[in-house]
Amino acid sequence: MIETRTLTLEQIEDLAFRALVAAGTAEANARPLAVATAATEADGVASHGLAYIPIYCEHVQCGKVDGTAQPELSRPRPGAVNVDAATGFAHSAIDMGFEVLIPAAREQGIAALSIRNSYNCGVLGYHTYRLAQAGLVGLGFTNAPASIAPSGGAKPVVGTNPFSIAAPGADGQPALLIDQSASTIAKSEVMKHAREGKPIPVGWAQDADGNPTTDPNVGLKGSMAPSGGYKGVGVALLTEIMAAALTGATLGINASPFSGTAGGPPKTGQFFIAIDPTATSGDAFTSGISELVGAIRAQNGAHLPGDGRGGKRRQAQTDGVAVNAATLDKIEAIIA
């Protein structure tokens, strides 16, 4: 049985922040990432939470990510916001971009944020969630190092490449939030199973010849299984266009891995579109989303995407989060 310790969200944020700073990350870059780490743990997505902090710290120390990077913002058109992350953490670059994106979308009805020379942005839905809290429909894309093979092939050409959309509700919180990768499961889950010495279910990954495997280490050397077969490959390609080609970021086939120390900065990208629904639908958006959500809620046993995370988030506010003790030991060793 895995030993755990219960931490409050404040303790999780503080622990993540201190470890990142101890590894050489500037406080201005460490704070947004620490805040996101606590939110991710609250949502129950442990694979992207504190478990990633030792990896982030290792990548700062080996130069895969510049912990002291200062992102640079430009605005070539009224509706286009560009941020060069300068091979630093994505979170501080996204924060910088959102400060301009949100008012631009409110003023013009729609605006886009392009981020290049970036790094793993963690849970993509964390970022679109914030756009919905601002009363905007938030659509996000992020590309990753290649890990999905094309239909009929066995060599990876695109990453797990998630997309996310968050629709604002009348209460100032997202009424609906979709956050899904192009693969059957996030690659970080396979990495987590490999670290823990656990087999993976059939359908998560494939070996180097394209055959299904239950060995996470074999899967990590092969390819991730696309969600829905060829349709998942299509989603991955869509995201690659949005997050890499449209931003000028590195394609997944050329990006260094998010794991390990080899290859230098991955220089991947993120792309966000923020839409003020009142600009396109007047007052109809709120009632339309409410009716759609209500139709799903009215069905016995039906649930919306994001329901599971939302329930865990509310519980974490009062009960804290049970965190793997071995992960905590690794982080505390970095701080010591």
**Residue 189 appears among annotated catalytic residues:** yes
Q: Are residues 26 and 171 in the same domain?
A: no
Helices assigned H by DSSP within the chain: 9-22, 27-42, 53-62, 90-108, 124-133, 187-196, 216-221, 230-240, 277-281, 284-297, 307-319, 325-335
| Helix (DSSP H) and strand (DSSP E) numbers for the chain | 12, 12
> What backbone torsions phi and psi does residue 178 show, to the nearest 5 degrees?
-110, 130
| Domain limits for position 10 | 1-62+306-336
pLDDT, tens digit (0-9, with 9 covering 90-100), for 157-191: 999 999 999 999 988 899 999 999 999 988 888 98
Name the phi and psi angles at 227, rounded to 5. -70, 125
pLDDT band, very low/low/confident/very high, at 16 (cuts 50, 70, 90): very high
Residue 162 DSSP code = -
Closest CA to 93 of 114, 75, 71: 71
Q: Is there a domain that residue 179 lies in?
A: yes
Of the residues 13, 41, 48, 259, only one is catalytic, namely 48
Active site residue 47: yes
Q: Would you state the pLDDT for residue 99? A: 98
Amino acid 252: pLDDT: 97
Q: How far apart are CA 262 and CA 53, in angstroms?
A: 18
17 and 113 inside one domain: no
Is 196's pLDDT higher than 90?
A: no
pLDDT band at 69 (very low <50, low <70, confident <90, very high): very high
- The answer to whether 48 is a known catalytic residue is yes
Residues 298 and 235 in one domain: yes
Least confidently predicted of 154-163, 234-243, 271-280, 304-313: 304-313
In a domain, 204, yes or no: no
- Rounded to an integer, the average pLDDT of 15-37 is 98
Residue 3: pLDDT band (50, 70, 90) is very high
User: For residue 20, is pLDDT > 80?
Assistant: yes
Q: Determine the pLDDT at residue 84.
A: 98
The two three-digit tokens of residue 49, written as one number: 């939470």
Whole-number percent of the chain with pLDDT over 90: 87
Identify which has the larger pLDDT, 191 or 31: 31
Q: Is residue 217 part of a domain?
A: no
Residue 291 has pLDDT above 90, yes or no: yes
Catalytic residue among 41, 47, 59, 259: 47
If phi > 0 it is left, if psi is from -120 to 50 it is alpha, else beta; for residue 152 that is left
How confident is the model over 94-152, as pLDDT tens digits? 999 999 999 999 999 999 999 999 999 999 999 999 999 999 999 999 999 999 999 98
Check residue 140 and give its pLDDT.
Answer: 98
In this structure, what CATH number is given to the domain that contains residue 49? Answer: 1.10.1530.10
Query: How many beta carbons lie within 10 A of that of residue 268, not counting itself?
Result: 31
Question: What is the dihedral sign for C-alpha 306, 308, 312, 315?
Answer: positive
35 with 137, same domain: the answer is no
Q: How many domains does the chain have?
A: 2
β-sheet bridge partners, residue 138: 166, 274
pLDDT given for residue 187 in this prediction: 84
Answer whether 265's CB lies under 8 Å from 119's CB: yes
- Is residue 190 a contact partner of residue 266, using CB atoms and an 8 Å limit? no
Query: What percentage of the chain exceeds 70 in pLDDT?
Result: 100
Q: Give the pLDDT mean for 3-9.
A: 95
pLDDT at 1 over 80: no
- Whole-prediction pTM: 0.95
Same domain, 30 and 106: no
Determine which one of 91, 181, 188, 189 is catalytic: 189
Give the ranges where 222-297 is alpha helix by DSSP (H). Answer: 230-240, 277-281, 284-297
Q: What is the pLDDT of residue 158?
A: 96
